[in-house]
Amino acid sequence: MENIEKKVFDYFQEMSQIPHGSGNTDEIRNYIVKFAEDHGLWYRTDQANNIIIKKPAARGYEDAEPVILQGHIDMVCEKTAASDKDMAKEGLDIKTDGDWMYAEGTTLGADDGIAVAMALAVLDSEELGHPALECIFTSDEEIGMVGARQLDLSDVTARKMINIDSEEEGIFTVSCAGGTNAVVNLPIEYCESLGTVLDITVDGLTGGHSGIMIVKERANSNELMGRLLSEISKEHEISLVSINGGKVGNVICKKTEAKVFVSSDEAAQIKEEIAAFEEVLKHEFTATDPELKITAAEAAGMGNKISVMTEESFDRIVTWLMIAPNGIQNMSAVAAGEVETSLNLGAVSTEESEVKFTYAVRSSSASRKEMLMDKLWYLSGILSGSVSFDGDYPGWEYLKDSALRETAVKVFTEQYGHEPEILGIHAGLECGLIAEKIGEGFDAISIGPDLVDVHTPDEKMSIESAKRTFRLVCGILEACK
């Protein structure tokens, strides 16, 4: 087993040297295809860069039902302000600190590179007992499960699936929320004025995955920037030149920047008021976002004559940031402590004639997901804007009688000495889409090692937890006779 475990980390290290952010998966697909060819395994890939690899059953398992191992090949690419790494072209700088593995200055990509590495190690093993394997590697999961949507499963025969895309050891995820992506566009117009532009930045927030970490009620820099603009405008005539924060809907935004037009005579006073408001926010978020900071400095090279958003445009943008729903909307009435419905304003960007707001909407209640979509539609209409939805994905319903779960619980209990937690998750998993495609008889669990701060440059993976999780995967496969 020690030799197989080593291969997990060998494969993970190799993949970390291949850029594989969402939308940039050609090279990692080629790596996995070459693996299949080198090992003489049947494989199929498609235009979406999904890959399916099949391996025959080990001796003694010929009559066992086949099993799917599943994970995604893309990662979220985030880096610190100090990092100059081009994550679209360069590999990661993998480091260890005791039990923790991380990437210096960037996300680690253990979400979900560790799943791919574990599956490759199983496919590479000649000593492990297992049923016939059908390993599914999907692409672009982090930007709306794009690969899973296009996945053709017509030649997949397995109905049991182990998804390795969870982030806490000892928890079996057995259901997940459905969701959609929403983009709100609000029109803006410009005029020219004389004055001073302040570069204002809300930064230093904790951030995190907007499904997993939304329950922590961490600060969202886009929302805080809206509050700050509203606060300043109570006593001063100001306007916006631009506002930008975040990249994707499913990450709690950590940093937002705005260029704000002010009267030159009031610039110093406004900076003092911003510093005072920073203290208010620090007090509010002292437990969740202790590194929160707001900076304001006069913009260089702007000149005195500035193109700024009109008063009507400014009011429209600030109104949206102040009144549009964000964060937890409903807690579960049946599972104590679990979020049922939420949305996250992950990104704000200023375009030529509009400001774009990008959301991830999630709920385990289809009707409440629809309600949130309706809210965004009504509010955007009132403010002369529009909203579009894409990437809708179904939830994954809890299966009352699950042979795979029963086997996995037995193996876990034997290995760990106690039973695992059985939970649903307030995040999208590809299990929902795959369940919809496979249909009747689909039986799955989602597991994974301890990962912290995923989707941020602080992402870390416990090495020992990854080893134990891999032994659990192997144990479940060996027990599936």
Cite the active site residues. 74, 141
Kindly report the number of other CB atoms within 10 A of residue 88's CB atom: 11
Closest-CA residue to 250 (of 295, 284, 214): 214
Distance CA 191, CA 311 (A): 9
CA dist 321 to 230, 233, 276, 380, Å?
Answer: 9, 14, 21, 11
Distance CA 55, CA 433 (A): 23
Q: In degrees rounded to 5, what are phi and psi of residue 345?
A: -80, 90
CA angle 79, 85, 89 (to 5 degrees): 115
Distance CA 420, CA 417 (A): 10
Who's near 130: CB < 8 A, 6+ residues apart?
A: 55, 57, 58, 61, 67, 122, 474, 477, 478, 480
Contact status, residue 108 vs residue 15, Cβ threshold 8 Å: no
Contact status, residue 22 vs residue 143, Cβ threshold 8 Å: yes
Closest-CA residue to 44 (of 56, 32, 27): 32
Contact status, residue 412 vs residue 472, Cβ threshold 8 Å: yes
Contact status, residue 408 vs residue 445, Cβ threshold 8 Å: yes
**DSSP 8-state class, residue 66:** P
Contact status, residue 449 vs residue 465, Cβ threshold 8 Å: yes
Residue 442, judged by CB atoms within 10 A of its CB (0-12, 13-18, 19+), counts as: buried
Q: In degrees rounded to 5, what are phi and psi of residue 410?
A: -60, -45
Containing H/E element for 197? strand 196-203
Containing H/E element for 194? strand 190-194
Q: In degrees rounded to 5, what are phi and psi of residue 86?
A: -90, 95
Three-state SS at 406: helix
Closest-CA residue to 270 (of 310, 305, 303, 298): 298
Three-state SS at 69: strand
